[in-house]
């Protein structure tokens, strides 16, 4: 077993013993680091142990913060969201334990059950027959609607996530503006111009709902046409219902979320309105489209900052490729 794997095993045992004091005969099988996102390490394993309730065996995943990250997030927020979603209409993994400050595993971590299914970023434009891809597209949108219908107040998520005190659009914009200033290495007048436009045109929200924050096929597991789990809740928050909708109707991400000629902005908005009963303002949705590109720009600048700081080994380009689509959407906003 490699030194990193040995460290993970030792940390997991310590975490389990702290969380389940009666646990004994703890064993791990099949520990391996899986391919995952750009912000965390994903470790797959089977865990067995005996405690006062009996003997248990679970397929598990450890999600541990990487040394260099594209997103500054808190494991405790993700843990509490997943715990609240357990048993709801939202397909999400069951969480077991967390190490919020890295006391046991050396970096903030969450341990959750491993769910069956495969991950495919481009599944909506892959090799499946068109009817299957359209069915899956509808299933993704229904999942989004279920997330927004989730009763976050009854489950106490307002306390851990924070309820926006101003418009959710302004709240998110100011949060990402702070991140932009934190990672900014050189002037970006185009991004400053878009920021000013966003600040001056922020829409009001019809409601405050649970927002996933990175809603895409690549953050889900699929078996057939069934979405077995929505993953990567690290950016979940309370906000505007149009935020996730703005992400999937964002033109620069259409290859992931849309099917040309069959499942484009108009069809998505119509299906969303039917599912939720909400009438979507085109101007408000366009604002969230622009915000999605601006947020993506900040994430790219975070990668540049991490690389320059020698905490990340992948070179990312500056987000100049996003300027034109943002300006185009802004010029057409009504």
Grouping H, G, I as helix, E, B as strand and the rest as coil, residue 308 is: helix
Query: Residues 181-188: what's their mean pLDDT?
Result: 95
Exposure letters 220-247 (e unless 16+ CB within 10 A, then b): bbbeeeebbbbbbbbbbbbbbbbbbbbb
Residues 6+ apart with CB under 8 A from 80: 157, 160, 161
pLDDT digits (tens, 9 = 90+) for 42-52: 999 999 999 99
Query: Distance between CA atoms of 241 and 237, rounded to whole angstroms?
Result: 11
Interatomic CA distance for residues 36 and 42, integer angstroms: 6
The pLDDT confidence band at residue 152, using thresholds 50, 70 and 90, is very high
Which secondary structure element, helix H or strand E, spans residue 172, and what is its range? Answer: helix 168-183
What pLDDT does 72 receive? 60
User: For residue 73, what pLDDT band results from cuts at 50, 70 and 90?
Assistant: low
pLDDT level of residue 19 (50, 70, 90 thresholds): very high
> pLDDT tens digit string along 116-141?
999 999 999 999 999 999 999 999 99
Domain boundaries, the chain: 3-113, 123-332
Handedness of CA 43, 44, 49, 54 (dihedral sign): positive
* CATH value of 123-332 in 3.90.1200.10, 3.40.50.280, 3.90.1150.10, 3.60.110.10: 3.90.1200.10
Between CA 238 and CA 2 the distance in angstroms is: 41
Instruction: Choose the weakest-confidence range: 53-57, 62-66, 213-217.
Output: 62-66
For residue 104, pLDDT over 90 is answered with: yes
Q: What is the share, in percent, of the chain residues with pLDDT greater than 90?
A: 84
Q: Which residue has the higher pLDDT, 70 or 229?
A: 229
Q: In 3-state terms, the chain is what percent helix, strand and coil (to 5)?
A: 45, 20, 35
pLDDT at 1 over 90: no
Among candidate residues 142, 152, 287, the one with its CA nearest the CA of residue 208: 152
Per-residue pLDDT tens over the stretch 247-269: 999 999 999 999 999 999 999 99
**pLDDT of 37 over the 60 cut:** no
Q: What b/e readout covers 47-66, taking b as 16+ CB neighbours within 10 angstroms?
A: bebeeeeeeeeeebbbbbbb
What pLDDT was estimated at residue 116? 95
CA gap 68, 262 in Å, rounded:
39
For residues 260 and 311, the answer to whether their CB atoms sit within 8 Å is no
**C-beta separation of 65 from 102 below 8 A:** yes
* pLDDT for residue 69: 56
Measure the CA–CA gap between 116 and 59, rounded to whole angstroms.
Answer: 10
Between 73 and 88, name the one with better pLDDT.
88
Give per-residue pLDDT as tens, 256-309: 999 999 999 999 999 999 999 999 999 999 999 999 999 999 999 998 988 888
- Other residues' Cβ atoms within 10 Å of the Cβ of residue 261: 8
Closest by alpha carbon to 143, among 207, 231, 64, 34?
A: 231
pLDDT at site 308: 85
Average pLDDT, the chain: 93
Which whole number is the average pLDDT over 206-228? 95
Q: With the C-alpha atoms ordered 327, 329, 331, 334, is the resulting torsion angle positive or negative?
A: negative
pLDDT at 67: 65
Task: For residue 264, count CB atoms less than 10 angstroms from its CB and return exposed for 0-12, middle for 13-18, buried for 19 or more.
Answer: middle
Is 30 exposed, middle or buried, given 0-12, 13-18 or 19+ CB atoms closer than 10 A?
A: exposed
The contacts of residue 243 (CB under 8 Å, 6+ apart) are 168, 172, 211, 213, 288, 291
Q: Which CATH class is domain 3-113?
A: alpha beta
Dist CA 332 CA 334 (whole Å):
6
Q: What is the pLDDT of residues 79-93, one digit of tens each?
A: 999 999 999 999 999
């Amino acid at each position: 077993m490699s030194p990193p794997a040995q460290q993970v095993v030792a940390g997991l045992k310590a975490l389990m013993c702290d969380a389940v004091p009666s646990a004994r005969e703890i064993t791990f099988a099949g520990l391996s680091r899986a391919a995952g996102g750009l912000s965390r390490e994903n470790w797959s394993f089977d865990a067995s142990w005996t405690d006062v309730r009996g003997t248990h065996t679970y397929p598990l995943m450890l999600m541990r913060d990487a040394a260099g990250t594209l997103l500054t997030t808190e494991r405790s927020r993700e843990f509490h969201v997943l715990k609240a979603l357990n048993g709801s209409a939202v397909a999400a993994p069951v969480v077991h334990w967390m190490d919020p400050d890295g006391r046991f595993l050396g970096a903030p971590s969450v341990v959750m059950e491993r769910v069956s299914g495969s991950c495919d970023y481009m599944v909506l434009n892959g090799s499946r027959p068109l009817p299957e891809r359209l069915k899956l597209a509808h299933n993704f949108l229904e999942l989004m609607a279920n997330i927004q219908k989730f009763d976050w107040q009854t489950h106490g998520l307002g306390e851990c996530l924070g309820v926006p005190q101003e418009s959710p659009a302004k709240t998110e914009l100011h949060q990402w503006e702070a991140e932009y200033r934190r990672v900014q290495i050189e002037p970006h007048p185009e991004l400053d111009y878009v920021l000013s436009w966003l600040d001056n045109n922020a829409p009001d929200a019809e409601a405050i709902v649970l927002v996933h924050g990175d809603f895409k096929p690549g953050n889900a597991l699929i078996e057939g046409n069934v979405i077995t789990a929505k993953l990567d809740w690290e950016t979940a928050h309370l906000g505007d219902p149009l935020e996730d909708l703005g992400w999937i109707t964002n033109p620069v991400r259409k290859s992931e979320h849309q099917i040309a000629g069959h499942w484009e902005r108009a069809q998505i908005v119509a299906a969303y309105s039917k599912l939720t009963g909400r009438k979507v303002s085109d101007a408000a949705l366009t604002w969230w489209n622009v915000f999605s590109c601006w947020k993506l720009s900040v994430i790219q600048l975070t990668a540049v900052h991490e690389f320059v700081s020698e905490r990340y080994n992948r070179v990312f380009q500056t987000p100049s490729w996003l300027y034109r689509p943002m300006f185009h959407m802004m010029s057409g906003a009504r």
